[in-house]
Amino acid sequence: MGPRGRGRARRGDVRQAILALLAEEPMNGYQMIQTMAERTGGGWKPSPGAIYPALAQLEDEQLIEPFDNYGAKAYRLTEAGQNVAAGIDPKPWEAFNAENAPEHPEVLRSMWKEFSSLAMAAQELTRSGSRAHQQQAAQILAETRRNLYGLLASDADDEDDQDLANPDDLR
């Protein structure tokens, strides 16, 4: 995940995305929002409060123009907009995906699988465990949480030291 966090795009990315999308086909604002969300796996879904002011600005700059698309307002590029859109590389959604892609997806899948298994075990303890078991489980979970934060605070970033894809190796 990039330094901005998942779902955040740089200032100007919405503007560039609008131009890049309209280079493919005319769209309305809602279609632009949906398309950006689809192309980023839901990671970047600009709000109407980001899209519509950018559309107004692009229209003021005469890079796009509105038109009546069977009763709905849609936008298309002007000739000047086509020239600007042709120079957009990489596309903002491609840059977003590259910046926010996990570096080690197989490790993340393994981690989340273990988290799911942990949740099932904790749920079973709440149903069937004795009070003593539940107290001990709470202590184990608190220690695990501290250990996870400890990982973030450590400098150990060398995968050769530990195989993080196999949680059994961490015991």
Could you give the domains of the chain? 13-100 (1.10.10.10), 105-170 (no CATH)
Lowest-confidence segment of 8-12, 37-41, 103-107, 111-115 by average pLDDT: 8-12
Mean pLDDT computed over 28-47: 92
Greater confidence (60 vs 110) lies with 60
pLDDT above 90 coverage of the chain, percent = 59
pLDDT at res. 116: 86
C-alpha 39/C-alpha 55 separation (Å) is: 20
The radius of gyration computed from the CA coordinates of the chain, to the nearest angstrom, equals: 24
Give which of 43, 163, 147, 171 is closest to 107, Cα–Cα. Answer: 163
For 1-31, the pLDDT digits (tens) are 333 444 456 657 999 999 999 999 999 999 9
Whole-structure pTM value = 0.58
